[in-house]
Amino acid sequence: MASVERRGDSWRVVWRHEGRKQYTSWASEELAGQAADIIKGHRGRIIAARVYADMGIDVGDTDSPEKGKTLREWCEEWLPSKTRITPGTRERYEQQLRDRIYPAFGDKALTDITPVLVGRWLNELRQAMGPKTVTRYYSLLHTALGAAVRHGHIPINPCHGTDFVRDQVADDDDGTAGHRAVYLTPRQYELLRAQFATRWHDLLDAIIETGMRWSEVTAVAAMHLVPATATAGPRIRVWRAWKEANGKRYLGTTKGRARRVLPIGADLYAALTKLVDGQPPETLIFRDDKGQALSYDVLYDQVWKPALLRARRCAAHPPLGQGEHLEGARGRCRDYGGTTWTGKPCGARVANDTTRCAAHFGPPPGSVSDCGCPEVLHVAPSWHDLRHTFAAWLFSDPRMTPLAISRLLGHQQLATTSEIYGDLMPQAIDAAVDAVADARRSGRQA
């Protein structure tokens, strides 16, 4: 009903109430045991705030000599002491503190920060930003205040008294804000792949066959390829990724420091080894014409978008164009209704015998066919959707378990995989009826 866990120098009591996880933090095991007894006495039907109240503890009550320490003073002491974060993460934390956390809590004493204040702040954030960003701000505040508890500055973490639910999707980086995941069918992937120059096929296949993030696949070097052995097929080691700090890129750890060794097919292994044949071990497998790391922004604009546009345009049903052929047409584009992208009349001269200038004649930039032809891609995926597609293909195979898929994706928690890809598991849920029926049937036949 309620479990007591040690968390560094503190103890935590965890239970569930009305389907929601509840937990409280305590400075000693004895206090945690008393809290657990209260929870058991209520048969788990109690929220964290009530447990603290029944224990006679208020966030503002403390005998700590550091009672007057403000959140800003604590964070300026605590953040520089963290040793297991990258320079880019440290820079992001500092920016988050300056942008939203210090304006709300920076000058408040740690003991004056209450669950009510935190809850109101979260609701204000929700009005200004998406759930993923709100989760990141909450996580930083939660971590900072949790460290304050462990160091004895406050008795409890006020974040625990809120009903905030962490957005697990935020743990899956490289996703595009506001972009709904696109899961490609094998046929759709082949349609898209065919529109890329041959030199990019191996990069596309590496992502679709391993589920690596962009920051990971572009950090893979020759030394990370593992040849097949008598007992196992070829592998690829994934333990580093591109990060950014102070406007510069550098190689750091993967998301959540999740190192993994991914199995790959013999064909992909042969293709990747060919790209670095005769090169030093540290040579990047995927690099630009100058041998440097690939730029996401450059490839997205110069390679991905044009290929996607070609895949979404049908030769038999091209997008409707602007203007029309008109023998003897002369003058300006505006004379026939042509406008610039700002909506102002276009003063460029029309192309001979057409009613638009060269820039405005034909399909508008980015327009796609609206036919239903099977040889046309009717969705608009991003680079990251190749990773989503990898996951979708695995979930469609009954031999794969959610735990195995979670590890292949490099997620720290199975809950992250479940929340991101929960819509891919309805068949598994529906199969529960058959599983129970089969069990009952076997019991009757015994």
The token pair that represents 346 in the structure block: 């276009």
348-381: pLDDT as tens digits: 999 989 999 988 888 877 889 989 999 999 999 9
β-pair partners for 241: 252
Domain ranges of the chain: 2-171, 181-319+376-446, 321-362
Q: How far apart are CA 38 and CA 95, in angstroms?
A: 41
- What is the pLDDT averaged over residues 228-257? 90
The stretch 140-168 carries a mean pLDDT of: 84
Confidence tier at 32 by pLDDT (50, 70, 90): confident
CATH of 2-171, one of 3.40.630.40, 3.40.50.2000, 1.20.120.920, 1.10.150.130: 1.10.150.130
Residue 65, pLDDT score: 41
* DSSP classification of residue 300: I
The predicted pLDDT at position 234 comes to 97
Confidence check: pLDDT of 171 > 50: no
**What pLDDT is stored for residue 61 in this prediction?**
46
β-pair type (225-226, 248-253): unpaired
Closest CA to 193 of 174, 207, 176, 182: 207
Q: Give the burial class of 132: count Cβ atoms within 10 A of its Cβ; 0-12 exposed, 13-18 middle, 19 or more buried.
A: middle
Give residues with Cβ within 8 angstroms of 147, minimum separation 6. Answer: 78
Q: Is 245 helix (H, G, I), strand (E, B) or coil?
A: strand
**pLDDT tens across 262-288, in order?**
999 999 999 999 999 999 999 999 999
Domains 2-171 and 181-319+376-446 alike in fold? no
Arithmetic mean of pLDDT, 395-424: 87
Q: 188-239: per-residue pLDDT in tens?
A: 999 999 999 999 999 999 999 999 999 999 999 999 999 999 999 999 999 9
Residue range 108-134: average pLDDT? Answer: 92
What architecture is the 181-319+376-446 domain classified under in CATH?
Orthogonal Bundle (1.10)
How far apart are alpha carbons 174 and 377 in whole angstroms?
23
